[in-house]
Structure 1
Amino acid sequence: MPVLPGAEPYRHEGGEVGVLLCHGFTGSPQSLRPWAEYLAERGLTVSLPLLPGHGTRWQDMQITGWQDWYAEVDRALRELLARCEQVFVFGLSMGGALTLRLAAKHGDSVRGIVVVNPANKVHGLAAHALPVARHLVRTTPGLAGDIAKEGAVEVGYDRVPLRAAHSLRNFLRLVDAELPQVTQPMVLLHSPRDHVVPPADSARILGRVSSTDVREILLEQSYHVATLDHDAERIFQESYEFVSRFAPRIGTKGSTGGG
């Protein structure tokens, strides 16, 4: 199935410091592409994979689950670890949950993490109905496009496959149980006016991780997809400064790559 325009994975070969970026549920690398390019321009090696079932059509997502999505970012992380001296992991929404699990599982191999509006739970009555509803209803309206900035568009699905949503629910429960295993330095940025993931998710994550070097930043001007919103530049700058704290000699600029 052809990949939607703009949803292609992105890779940049830079210096000895690498960053893995993880996109969100029903989204695509497009939501993180400006962030990836910002980091690439500053000499980092950057990997932004396309999660299985994403970036094509929602029917393709119907036959995937969290094990597929996690396996892809785990593979991409292992590639970076083989290539780079230091590796950081960043994520948006469900990508934040993927980031947290990578940190829990890979320990000191991950030097630090940055999460933006990270998901911790599927909320509302729908969450309780998913185990049954997924057998009766195929989809619900999509989540993509929660952006305050006029004219900004997210490439994502307009439908949410309930089978995949049920898998996400199970994954977030798993990650929540593993949060005490997260010990890395962390920056957590979240939007008070997020219409997809409530602030309670960020509060719970901050309260359960074992990290001692933690910074919380509020994104007052943005909604859920903050990486395409008014606070995007701040996210990019804060994340680069975070990496620079631990890797002061990030390296020279490499050649740009994509696709």
Structure 2
Amino acid sequence: MKPQKRLVEPFCFPGNHVGCLLIHGFSGSPSEMRYLGEGLANLGWTVLGIKLSGHGTTPEEMSKTRWEDWAGDAEAGVSELRKTCTKVIGIGLSMGGLLALHLAALGLIDGIVSMNSPMLLADRRTRYLRLIRPFREFVGKPKSPKATTASLRSESRSESFQLKPERFVYEKIPVDSLISLNKAIRQVRHQLYKIHCPALLMQSRTDTTVAPISIQIISKNIRARKFEVLYWEHSGHILTLGPERDEVVLKIHEFLQEFCLPES
């Protein structure tokens, strides 16, 4: 199915001297971040929502891309914002959050907002992808097979809250790209100690895609001067489009005000 152009194209909203780099998730598209981006732009912040290589097209196109491609896209986004902004904050959902952590470990950004970022995927079967690679090129979207009935219902309610035109995402995942993501998770996890910038870490408690323990791993290993850990009770994995999305916008706005604006 061909996606609507508005859902998959990157977006940019000019604002003040603080640039917000919005990074969508694995197999997703900028549509996951547009609502958040519009909200932050309305509050005065400069916003750039990028599209990662191989995303927003077809799973076959994504199968040609790897972590190195996506990291390059994120670094290019930082460079673009640096042209007009004195500070850049990486704001990412899922793998987008992993990319924000990667940028912070490299010292390229001034702050992080990490939302449902994976240090461990909930579906343990993703750990054995190399065994099935000779037999399958694509798999379905991973979710925890041991998710509780309550968490699955909560995730379903969160997804049903989303307006259908709001998001474009692949229904099947290239195995090679998923293998690359797993490798990247291990790499970023080993680099967390290099992160010193302010951080806002968010996690949905009923996330069935990313193991909620991920946020504990991040918070225990980063060396940020200041950071906040925030759990969301009613949202699923796509926190930016769930029932608490307006509160998410306000929390990020408060974080940006506290750590990025000069004291009066």
Name the TM-score, length of structure 1 as normaliser: 0.89
Which residue does 1:32 correspond to in 2?
33
Looking at structure 2, the residues matched to 156 and 147 of structure 1 have their Cα atoms a distance apart, in angstroms, of: 16
What amino acid maps onto 2:20 in structure 1? Answer: V
Looking at structure 1, the residues matched to 128 and 116 of structure 2 have their Cα atoms a distance apart, in angstroms, of: 24
Which residue does 1:172 correspond to in 2?
185
Return closer, same or farther for 1:155/1:143 CA change in 2, 3 Å cut-off. Answer: farther
Looking at structure 2, the residues matched to 142 and 236 of structure 1 have their Cα atoms a distance apart, in angstroms, of: 27
Looking at structure 1, the residues matched to 135 and 124 of structure 2 have their Cα atoms a distance apart, in angstroms, of: 16
Return closer, same or farther for 1:227/1:124 CA change in 2, 3 Å cut-off. Answer: closer
Which residue does 2:133 correspond to in 1?
134
Looking at structure 2, the residues matched to 135 and 232 of structure 1 have their Cα atoms a distance apart, in angstroms, of: 40
What amino acid maps onto 1:69 in structure 2? Answer: W
Q: How does 1:240-259 map to 2 (within 5 A)?
A: 240-248=253-261
Which residue does 1:56 correspond to in 2?
57
Q: Which range is displaced more, 240-249 or 172-181?
A: 240-249
Looking at structure 1, the residues matched to 157 and 242 of structure 2 have their Cα atoms a distance apart, in angstroms, of: 6
Return closer, same or farther for 1:178/1:147 CA change in 2, 3 Å cut-off. Answer: farther
Which residue does 2:223 correspond to in 1?
210
How far is the alpha carbon of 1:147 from its aligned partner? 5.4
Could you list the per-position Cα deviations for residues 129-188 of structure 1 after superposition, in whole angstroms to 9, with x for gaps in the alignment? 2223223211111259x5533341431000011010000011111100100001111111
Identity rate of aligned residues, in percent? 30
Which residue does 2:100 correspond to in 1?
99
Return closer, same or farther for 1:27/1:176 CA change in 2, 3 Å cut-off. Answer: same
How far is the alpha carbon of 1:248 from its aligned partner? 3.3
Looking at structure 1, the residues matched to 55 and 4 of structure 2 have their Cα atoms a distance apart, in angstroms, of: 9
How far is the alpha carbon of 1:231 from its aligned partner? 1.2
Looking at structure 2, the residues matched to 95 and 166 of structure 1 have their Cα atoms a distance apart, in angstroms, of: 16
How far is the alpha carbon of 1:124 from its aligned partner? 4.3
Q: Which range is displaced more, 168-177 or 126-135?
A: 126-135
In structure 1, stretches of 5+ residues that fail to align are 250-259
SS at match of 1:148: helix
Q: Which range is displaced more, 118-127 or 131-140?
A: 118-127
Q: Say whether the 8 Å CA contact 1:117–1:197 is kept in structure 2.
A: yes
Aligned residues: 247
Looking at structure 2, the residues matched to 229 and 128 of structure 1 have their Cα atoms a distance apart, in angstroms, of: 28
Q: 1:188 aligns with which of 182, 185, 201?
A: 201
Looking at structure 1, the residues matched to 19 and 2 of structure 2 have their Cα atoms a distance apart, in angstroms, of: 28
Q: Say whether the 8 Å CA contact 2:122–2:209 is kept in structure 1.
A: no
Which residue does 1:17 correspond to in 2?
18
Which residue does 2:247 correspond to in 1?
234
Looking at structure 2, the residues matched to 147 and 235 of structure 1 have their Cα atoms a distance apart, in angstroms, of: 19
SS at match of 1:32: helix
Looking at structure 2, the residues matched to 4 and 58 of structure 1 have their Cα atoms a distance apart, in angstroms, of: 16
Looking at structure 2, the residues matched to 243 and 222 of structure 1 have their Cα atoms a distance apart, in angstroms, of: 22
Aligned: 1:159 with 2:172: yes
CA RMSD of aligned residues (A): 2.0
Q: Say whether the 8 Å CA contact 2:20–2:48 is kept in structure 1.
A: yes
Name the TM-score, length of structure 2 as normaliser: 0.88
What amino acid maps onto 1:86 in structure 2? Answer: K
Q: Which range is displaced more, 151-160 or 218-227?
A: 151-160
